[in-house]
């Protein structure tokens, strides 16, 4: 077993099984389902999903360590190695992802998501998206809201998605040259109730770590402005109704820098689409900037703060 100078097991050490057989509980399955639904998540986020079934936080930490080390049949969870490259890696919560064994277990139980896109994006992009969506789900009840996951949205489509479409979030666009579709990082909804009854709002989510330009001279290169143009086409044609089966759509972007957010908003203003400009909301989360770290707490500001738009700032927790 790999240890440091004072005989503490290293976080980045490879799995070292200490038990012959791990028996799963309902709380354990909630962990697997949360990671499957959102992506790699840190320990304190996983605790929020299962604290009503746990003795305390330490109990969860010990359980996650057991799942990482595994038993004679192998591990249930992984610790993505990229997390240990962060500046504060030794002092932040450990991030876990599903090992194939956990995915197989969810599949056998029929609780694995059929609508999770195949991931090829960088680890930090996945972690940021997972923390954003998990924060929205966990914070929604404090605002009297119900979080509607991508799985729930797509499972209600009529006719249902074809097999080859079931893990694909892409939506067709026109007028972007060789780009025939755009793919949001996630899709979710919020359900609330007011004096007029239930209301629903749906959102395409974009995670932007400020790693690409807004506009490029070469039209063949990736640029965030091309996504904005694609979403404007989707909003004009209301293609989200047929493709995703939702009655309305706004586009939310979580970026790492307020100045970058304002630059994108200025780009939107220049598109001369006042009818749709305020459908784009922006908020900054600096935890995932250049000297990134795992967020210390849930990102409650996503529902409690106002999002910047090309017009007045707005709360997404209201109809």
Query: Would you call 186 helix, strand, or coil by DSSP?
Result: strand
Average pLDDT over residues 160-167: 57
Q: Would you call 179 exposed, middle or buried from its count of C-beta atoms within 10 A (0-12, 13-18, 19+)?
A: middle
Determine the pLDDT at residue 7.
Answer: 55
Q: Do 131 and 299 touch, CB atoms closer than 8 A?
A: yes
Answer yes or no: is pLDDT of 52 > 60: yes
Q: Give the chain's mean pLDDT.
A: 89
- C-alpha 63/C-alpha 41 separation (Å) is 15
- Whether the per-residue pLDDT at 183 is higher than 60: the answer is yes
Model confidence at 3, in pLDDT bands (50, 70, 90)? low
pLDDT on residue 239 = 94
pLDDT category at 15 given cuts 50, 70, 90 is confident
Distance CA 31, CA 97 (A): 10
Provide the strand spans (E) within the chain. Answer: 41-42, 77-78, 95-98, 146-148, 171-172, 181-182, 186-194, 197-208, 250-255, 280-284
Counting residues of the chain whose pLDDT is more than 90, the rounded percentage is 71
Q: In what order do the strands lie in the sheet with 250-255?
A: 146-148, 186-194, 197-208, 250-255, 280-284
Least confident of 101-115, 163-177, 260-274: 163-177
Q: Using CB atoms within 10 A of its CB, is residue 146 exposed (0-12), middle (13-18) or buried (19+)?
A: middle
Query: What's the pLDDT at 219?
Result: 57
User: Max CA-CA distance within the chain?
Assistant: 64
- pLDDT for 203 equals 98
- Upper half-sphere CA count for residue 289 (Cβ side, 13 Å): 10
Determine contact, residues 174/181, Cβ cutoff 8 Å.
Answer: no
User: DSSP labels for 122-172?
Assistant: -HHHHHHHHHHHHHHHHHGGGGT-EEE-HHHHHHT-SSPPPGGGTT---EE
Please say if the pLDDT value at position 163 is more than 90: no
Per-residue pLDDT tens over the stretch 114-135: 777 677 789 999 999 999 999 9
Q: In the prediction, which pLDDT does 201 show?
A: 97
Write down the pLDDT at residue 265.
96
> In this structure, are strands 197-208 and 250-255 parallel, antiparallel, or unpaired?
parallel
CB atoms within 10 A of CB 167: 15
pLDDT the model gives residue 8: 54
Q: Are 84 and 11 in contact (CB under 8 A)?
A: yes
- CB contact at 8 A, 256 and 264: no
6 pLDDT more than 90:
no
pLDDT band at 156 (very low <50, low <70, confident <90, very high): confident
Burial 79-114 (b: 16+ CB within 10 A, else e): beeebeebeeeeebbbbbbbbebbbebbeeeeebbe
Position 108 confidence tier, pLDDT thresholds 50, 70, 90: very high
Q: In which residue are the tokens 């504060």 written?
A: 88
More confident residue, 89 or 115: 89
pLDDT in tens, 244-294: 999 999 999 999 999 999 999 999 999 999 999 999 999 999 999 988 999
Q: Which residues have a Cβ under 8 Å from the Cβ of 126 and sit 6 or more positions away?
A: 39, 40, 119
What does the pLDDT read at residue 306?
97
Among 30, 28, 31, 1, CA closest to 16: 1
Q: What are phi and psi of 314, to 5 degrees?
A: -140, 155
Q: pLDDT-derived band of residue 76, with 50, 70 and 90 as boundaries?
A: very high
Separation of alpha carbons 301 and 55, rounded Å: 28
Task: Identify the structural domains of the chain with CATH numbers, from first to last.
Answer: 26-109 (1.10.10), 123-304 (no CATH)
Whole-angstrom distance, CA of residue 133 vs CA of residue 137: 6
8 Å CB contact between 119 and 126: yes
DSSP bridge pairs for 16? none
pLDDT confidence of 18, banded at 50, 70, 90? confident
pLDDT tens readout for residues 197-245: 999 999 999 999 988 778 765 555 568 898 999 999 999 999 999 999 9
Q: Which residue has the higher pLDDT, 118 or 172?
A: 172
């Amino acid at each position: 077993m790999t240890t440091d100078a004072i005989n503490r097991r290293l976080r980045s050490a490879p799995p070292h099984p200490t038990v012959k057989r791990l028996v799963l509980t309902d709380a354990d399955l909630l962990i697997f389902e949360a990671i499957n639904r959102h992506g790699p998540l840190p320990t304190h986020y996983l605790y929020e999903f299962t604290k009503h079934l746990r003795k305390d936080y330490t109990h969860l930490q010990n359980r996650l360590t057991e799942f990482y080390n595994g038993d004679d049949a192998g591990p249930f969870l992984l610790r993505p190695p990229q997390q240990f490259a962060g500046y504060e890696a030794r002092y932040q919560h450990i991030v876990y992802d599903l090992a194939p064994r956990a995915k197989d277990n969810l599949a056998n139980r029929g609780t694995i998501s059929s609508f999770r896109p195949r991931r090829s994006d960088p680890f930090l992009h996945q972690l940021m998206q997972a923390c954003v969506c998990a924060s929205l789900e966990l914070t929604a009840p404090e605002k009297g809201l119900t979080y509607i996951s991508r799985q729930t949205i797509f499972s209600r489509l009529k006719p249902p998605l074809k097999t080859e479409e079931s893990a694909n979030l892409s939506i067709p666009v026109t007028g972007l040259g060789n780009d025939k579709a755009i793919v949001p990082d996630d899709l979710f909804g919020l359900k609330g109730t007011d004096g007029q009854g239930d209301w629903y709002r749906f959102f395409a989510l974009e995670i932007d770590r400020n790693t690409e330009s807004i506009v490029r001279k070469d039209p063949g290169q990736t640029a965030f402005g091309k996504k904005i143009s694609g979403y404007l086409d989707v909003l004009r044609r209301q293609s989200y109704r047929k493709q995703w089966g939702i009655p309305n759509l706004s586009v939310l972007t979580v970026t790492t820098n307020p100045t970058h957010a304002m630059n994108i908003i200025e780009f939107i203003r220049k598109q001369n689409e006042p009818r749709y400009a305020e459908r784009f909301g922006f908020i900054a989360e600096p935890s995932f900037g250049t000297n990134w770290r795992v967020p210390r707490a849930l990102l409650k500001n996503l529902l409690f703060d106002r999002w910047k738009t090309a017009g007045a700032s707005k709360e997404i927790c209201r109809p």
